Structure formats: C-alpha cells, structure tokens
Amino acid sequence: MLNTETPSQEHAGLDQYPVAELVDTLIADQFNAIAAVQAAAPSITAAVDAAAPRIAAGGRLIYVGAGTSGRLGVLDGVELHPTFSWPHERALSLLAGGKGAMFKAVEGAEDDSKQGFLDLAALLPQANDVVLLLAASGSTPYVLGALDAARTAGALTIGIANNPDAPVAMRAELGITLDTGPEVISGSTRLKAGTSQKIALNTISSAIMVRLNKVYGNLMVDMKATNAKLVRRAVALTRHATGADEASAHFVLEQCDFHVKVAIVVLKCQVPIARARALLAQAEGSVRAALLLQ
C-alpha cells in the first residue's frame, strides 16, 4: 500500500478526540509537510536550476494534475500574473476533467491517460517549456499520459509525488519526492500531501521569478497594481526601495503606469521615465543591474 494511503497508526481514535485535541492533531501533522519539502530541497534546487534558463529563453510553465494536485497547479499558475506580471499565456494548467473539475470532482477523469496525452499535446509543447506534473500517488494515469506527451516533445518534465519511487517522479527528467507518509485522515491527500505540494510549487515558481529579475532585494517590484490595495502596495514598495516620500513615490508611479521597477530607477537615478525603461531593458529587467548602468 502507498504511504499516502496507509492508515495512520497514531490516531486510530481520531473520531473520539475532543475538538481541541482534534484541531491540535490536524495542525501538528502539517509540520510533517514542511519536513518533507525540506528533505526534498536538493531536488527542488535542481528543478529550479534546470527550469530557469528555459523560462528565460521564452518557455512556458505548464502545470498538470488531477483533483487536489491539479487545483494546486492551477492556483500557482494563476497567481503568477498579479504577483510578478507573468503573462497568462506563459502559465498554463491542465486539470483532469477540464475547467469544471476546479469546482466539482469529475469522476474517472484522472484514469484517462490518453486524454492526458492529448491535452498536453494540444498545447504544442516546445523544448523550452517546463511541465510540472503533480500526483500525490505518483501514478495518476492522466498525469502520466501528459508526461509522455511532454517528453515526446522534448519539454523539461518535473514530476512531483508524495510516495517514494513513484512513476511520475521516476519517468520525468527530474523527480521530486515529498514523502509525507500516512495522513491523519487516512488517504486524504488534500491534507499534508497537498500542503507539501503547495509549498514546493510556491518555492519553484517564486525562485524562478527571482532568477528572472522580478524581485529587487526581497521586494516584489514587477507586480500589477490593478486595484486600490495594490496601488498602496506599489507606493509602499517604491518608498521602501528609494526612501522617497509618499507624494513623490505616488507621482512617479502615476507617470509610469504604476510600474514599480521603473519608479525605483527614476527616483534613485534621477532620470526621466524613458531613460529608466531603457536602463531596465539593457539590464534584462534587473533593477540592481540597471542602477549600476547609470
């Protein structure tokens, strides 16, 4: 039996726990998710090292999964645009059962390896694409079908599973095993197995974005200020990076369409907006490098 499916021996009487003990038990088990991701850090590092150059060369991030794993992939990809201004068309997700499966389980969809192959192939994968294949069991047919299509096209494949020696990790070019073990509620991989996948995806995509110069220091400087909250955040980030007062930061941001990177270079180098944009282009989007060019 898979580790993720094996009944936990620690909490056989879970249904009899008082609420406070039940809550403490469920929370405490989540720390095992963190430990599993930490143990996989070398594999995650290798994945980032392999993926970043391909994405920098124009590749896409493509997430593939079923059920909880698939939904976590959708979430990670969707959040890249507001966080890093990453183009929607370069963060794609395939979920067994289609878009409707995001909100309602589509029974049997995960068992269709042929559909996984066809869905991935329909995206016309290229050599610079990075395909993240998620399966807690590590053997979901839909995901393995997509893996075959990605490998056939020469895309980089990264298999993420929660069981050792899982097919998706073994057959992918790079495998990441998040060995979270039995769940408190036996077999419910939406618990710590899902948490570990969320952490791993956050880490991989965020590290890639840092390598693509989407961050200055530890500041999120390539965000989209699409609402009042994000406008305030853009002003705060610009002030923090430059030491400018609120009025000056807001004024410059208004002139450059609230692009924090540009505002930082304008204020720190005291150059016109056009010059700041040219410096950033010359520095391949790196604020730090652009400041050194002036």
pLDDT of residue 68: 95
- We report the CATH number of the domain holding residue 271 as 1.10.8.1080
Kindly state whether residue 1 falls inside one of the protein's structural domains: no
Give the pTM.
Answer: 0.94
| Residue 131 dihedral angles phi and psi, to the nearest 5° | -105, 115
User: Helices 67-84 and 192-211 sit at what angle, rounded to 10 degrees?
Assistant: 30
Sign of the alpha-carbon torsion through 108, 113, 115, 120 = positive
Are 29 and 139 members of one domain? yes
What's the pLDDT tens digit per position in 54-98?
Answer: 999 999 999 999 999 999 999 999 999 999 999 999 999 999 999
**Count of C-beta atoms within a 10 Å radius of residue 4:** 25
Please state, in angstroms and rounded to a whole number, the distance separating the CA atoms of residues 55 and 213. 12
Cα(53)–Cα(156) distance, integer angstroms: 11
Q: Check whether residue 234 and residue 119 sit in a common domain.
A: no
Given the residues 21, 79, 183, 246, select the one marked as catalytic: 79
Shared domain check, 46 and 64 = yes
Whether 8 shows a pLDDT value over 90: the answer reads no
Give the burial class of 121: count Cβ atoms within 10 A of its Cβ; 0-12 exposed, 13-18 middle, 19 or more buried. Answer: middle
Residue 102 belongs to a domain: yes
CA distances to 227, 256, 279 from 237, rounded to whole Å, are: 15, 15, 20
* Residue 86 belongs to domain with CATH number: 3.40.50.10490
In a domain, 280, yes or no: yes
Domain closes at, from 211, 226, 258 = 211
pLDDT digits over 110-151, tens only?
999 999 999 999 999 999 999 999 999 999 999 999 999 999
Question: Domain boundary residue among 160, 192, 211?
Answer: 211
Residue 237 has pLDDT above 90, yes or no: yes
- Domain check: are 137 and 275 in the same one? no
Q: What is the DSSP string of 20-40?
A: HHHHHHHHHHHHHHHHHHHHT
pLDDT on residue 22: 97
Can you give the pLDDT at residue 26? Answer: 97
Report the DSSP pairing between strands 219-220 and 215-216.
antiparallel
Q: Report yes or no on 33 lying in a domain.
A: yes
110 is catalytic: yes
How many domains is the chain built from?
A: 2
Share of the chain above pLDDT 90, in %: 92
In angstroms, the CA 264 to CA 242 distance is 6
Q: Does a structural domain hold residue 259?
A: yes
146 and 184 co-located in one domain: yes
What is residue 124's predicted lDDT score, i.e. its pLDDT? 98
Give the start-end residues of each E strand in the chain. Answer: 61-65, 91-95, 130-135, 156-161, 174-177, 215-216, 219-220
Percent of the chain with pLDDT over 70: 100
223 pLDDT tier (thresholds 50, 70, 90): confident
Q: What is the distance between the alpha carbons of residues 202 and 79, in angstroms, rounded to a whole number?
A: 10
143 and 127 within one domain = yes
Which is higher by pLDDT, 8 or 184? 184
pLDDT at 106: 86
Residue 2 lies in a domain: no
Active-site annotation holder among 107, 110, 246, 284: 110
pLDDT, mean over the chain: 96
Cα pseudo-dihedral 210, 215, 219, 225, rounded to 10? -120
In the structure, what pLDDT confidence band is assigned to residue 235 with cuts at 50, 70 and 90? very high
Query: How does pLDDT run across 22-34, given as a tens digit for each residue?
Result: 999 999 999 999 9
Is residue 9 included in any domain, yes or no?
Answer: no
> Is residue 189 pLDDT above 90, yes or no?
yes
User: Given this model, what pLDDT does residue 7 score?
Assistant: 87
Q: Which domain holds residue 113?
A: 14-211
- Statement to judge: residues 187 and 227 lie in one domain: no
237 shares a domain with 177: no
pLDDT of the residue at 153:
98
pLDDT of residue 107: 79
Task: Calculate Rg over the CA atoms of the chain.
Answer: 22
Residue 7 included in any domain: no
Same domain (yes/no): 222, 263: yes
Which of 161, 183, 211 represents a domain boundary (last residue)? 211
